Amino acid sequence: MILLRKNLIDGEWLGEAGSRNINPSNTNDVVGEYASAGPEEAKQAIAAAKAAFPAWSRSGPLARHAVLKKASDEIMARKDEIGRALAREEGKTLAEGVAETIRAAQIFDFFAGETLRLSGELVPSVRPGVGVELTREGVGVVGIITPWNFPIAIPAWKIAPALAYGNTIVFKPAELVPESAWTIVDILHRAGLPKGVLNLVMGKGSVVGQAMLDSPDINAISFTGSVGTGKRVAAASVEHMRKFQLEMGGKNPFVVLDDADLAVAIDCAINGAYFSTGQRCTASSRLIVTEGIHDRFVEAMKERLDKLVIGDALDGKTQIGPVVDQTQLKQDEDYIAIGRQEGAELAFGGDRLERGTPGFYLQPALFVGSNNAMRISREEIFGPVANVIRVKDYDEALAVANDTPFGLTSGICTTSLKHATHFKRNSEAGMVMVNLPTAGVDFHVAFGGRKGSSYGSREQGRYAMEFYTTVKTAYTFAG
């Protein structure tokens, strides 16, 4: 029996089956059927969120804390079940699916605590007898649009702060991963959210997303996805004078200097470039290596890549799962062809793989002999494809690392405190890693980038308050 998941609008589960969710490890496996909202359902969800905002925004911190803490506890208790469903629908390994689910639970737990730490400022006025209070209030109805690559963590780090700071929500997840989205909404709904506070509208971005962009009743939009769609979100938001927050692409550099510990460098590069099938905006897609260690690094990378286990995401032995769907697989293969045409040498991989079940399996690809002007160095591929760029020294490595329209994350592997310190200060990225993979961040600190990677205030941690609240200044004359 195939599950039927409906949209949640104004506290009611509504809709009929509109799309099927397919397992990328086994295309014969249907995860479930999911309702597809249209423009009218999106408008109903927005109206419900608008009607629910006055009461929820004035609810006490204990009410918000109770909902978020209960959701956190249930997600953690069901981590194996939810993590398995996540791996089944998205294709990341079972271990990664469970780890992402745990992260979602931790995010809700953190923001449950934040509801009890809300504070303001009381300052003296320059005028005698006048007091000044600065407080923060929810911005209103928040539209949340999330991608498919982190189907529970990214919704969690947007939904949790939105609720903690008193906002109501219209949530549109990616079409490829509706099960994780439905699960998190179901948990929050049963945790005691009043009707209309959180609304789920699954469906096409061109329909549901557009209705959200066109609505004057959405006061803020938090978006994670492609650069092209992010620009559309920005243009539509300016039209309505709403707040908007964008997390988009990355072409992240990982620098390896001659003095690096080779084993550490290989671990970081393999993890950053290929885990989660390379489908991370924080992936290390450019490996910038100085000439003294270059050849040893490339040989060690090929040896490690040859040992990776690529297979069904639900198999505990699998280290790299399938690509998410046929469209993404074709994009990856097209970029591999482009790299060859541009003159880069495919040193390893890049072939379609056959496994016991029909799926979107791709052997991780490594290019060498590339330069930073090639398309494979400039454009986000979003798959298990990385290229090595050979440079003379640290100064050239830093220049190449910064020569990109993106600026999400960067990394360096070195035993030199001098170079590590200089790189942290001079890397043009929002997040910098030293002797760590570029992918992998903590849930309680700021996440975000520069240039074409991000726009607006940071996500996660206490920095989330900047986007999900607005500041009010109140003056009182005592007489």
Just list the catalytic residues.
247, 281
- Are 230 and 246 within 8 A, CB to CB? yes
| Residue 290 in tokens | 């100085």
Secondary element (H or E) of residue 343:
none
| Residue 335 in tokens | 């970029």
User: Dihedral through CA 84, CA 90, CA 96, CA 97, nearest 10?
Assistant: -30
> How many whole angstroms separate alpha carbon 126 and alpha carbon 394?
52
Residues 6+ apart with CB under 8 A from 188: 67, 71, 159, 163, 198
| Residue 114 in tokens | 């934040």
β-pair partners for 409: 431
β-pair partners for 145: 172, 223
> How many whole angstroms separate alpha carbon 253 and alpha carbon 270?
13
> How many whole angstroms separate alpha carbon 175 and alpha carbon 173?
6
Q: Which of 65, 86, 101 is nearest to 191 (CA)?
A: 65
β-pair partners for 362: 352
- Strand duo 12-14 + 7-9: pairing: antiparallel
- Are 448 and 434 within 8 A, CB to CB? no
Q: Which of 383, 315, 22 is nearest to 178 (CA)?
A: 22
Q: Which of 360, 461, 467 is nearest to 157 (CA)?
A: 461
Which 3 state secondary structure label does DSSP give 169?
strand
Q: What is the CA radius of gyration of the chain?
A: 23
Residues 6+ apart with CB under 8 A from 88: 23, 25, 29, 31, 179, 313, 314
- Are 468 and 165 within 8 A, CB to CB? yes
